[in-house]
Amino acid sequence: MRASGLWDEPKSRLREPASKLSVGQQQRLCLSRALAIEPRVLLCDEPTSALDPISSRHIEDQLSTLRKNYTIVLVTHTLRQARRLADYVIFVYFGNLVEHGPADQVFDNPKDDRTKAYLAGVFG
């Protein structure tokens, strides 16, 4: 629970059901449960999609810390989040791999016109 940034908040309520936690705390509890099995890779599919900005920031901060010890595959539709967290980007459009590469290369110098359009906000 410490690795997910959750321990300090509910530590005095450990006997209560998880449903009494906030949605952001529940999301960090899911991360704690995943870390408990000591995986080599964490797959995070839209980990902040239903969260408020403060809870989203908690999750992003934890992922930033965890990336030192884990390979993290993050699926997100939030471009700003991808820019903050990604080392390597894979851009998929309608199920097709469009472009991939180091994050700074894809974000700052995309090769494909569809990637350029997405980054410019033409769609998405």
CB 103, CB 109: distance < 8 Å: no
Pick among 3.40.50.1820, 3.10.270.10, 3.40.10.10, 3.40.50.300: CATH of 1-75: 3.40.50.300
User: 88 versus 124: which is more confidently predicted?
Assistant: 88
Domain with CATH 3.40.50.300 in the chain: 1-75
C-beta atoms surrounding 89 within 10 Å: 19
pTM of the model: 0.78
Each residue's pLDDT tens digit, 2-51: 555 565 665 566 667 778 787 877 887 888 888 889 899 999 999 998 88
